[in-house]
Amino acid sequence: MKLIICDLESKCFEKIFSDLPDDTMVILYDESIHHCTGCFGCWIKTPGVCVIRDKYGDMGERLSKCEEVIIISRCCYGGYSPFVKNIFDRSISYLHPDFVIKNGEMHHKRRYKNKIKLHVYFYGENITEKENLTAQKLVKANSINMDCNVGRVLFFQSIGEMEGQIL
């Protein structure tokens, strides 16, 4: 399954993706998302499931069913947009609370057996070279933390430039 997480509203998204495969799940910008409270309930109280019961409470399980994750985000100072960052925060249940050493660094164990290929598409006017480099480092760090492989990391000046470039 493919999971597309993006901070676009449906009209913009439909311009980029006119026809998606049946096995694609899409998460579009939504103001109703609750912020992660950092309670770690998804590790302690309800392992693998966020204790905040909204439509993002099962992000760990959604990720566990994916072979490919596509992120489309405005580049904000070399990071993800607030919405996409919030989705990542709410996805912490994808990982196990126990630790392992990877590449000489401490990271969380995998909870699920699937292996994700991560593609990230940043957009924004006047993305500086420093922001570009920071964003690339962030994606690499996320891939290590989530124990996934990085596919494409591309930058666009506008959403319109993405048409025909993704998938």
Domains and CATH numbers, the chain: 2-162 (3.40.50.360)
Could you count the other beta carbons within 10 Å of the beta carbon of residue 70?
A: 22
Residue 18 has pLDDT above 80, yes or no: no
Question: Which amino acid, one-letter code, is at 51?
Answer: V
Residues 6+ apart with CB under 8 A from 131: 75, 77, 78
What is the per-residue pLDDT across 35-57, written as a single tens digit (0 to 9) for each?
A: 999 999 999 999 989 999 899 99
pLDDT at 15: 84
Mean pLDDT of 134-155: 95
The more confidently predicted of residues 66 and 167 is: 66
Residue 49 has what DSSP assignment?
S
* Cα distance from N-terminal residue to C-terminal residue, the chain: 13
Mean pLDDT of 78-91: 96
- For residue 95, give the nearest of 30, 143, 24 by alpha carbon: 143
pTM of the model as a whole: 0.93
CA angle (84, 85, 88) in 5-degree steps: 90
Strands 105-110, 95-102: pairing is antiparallel
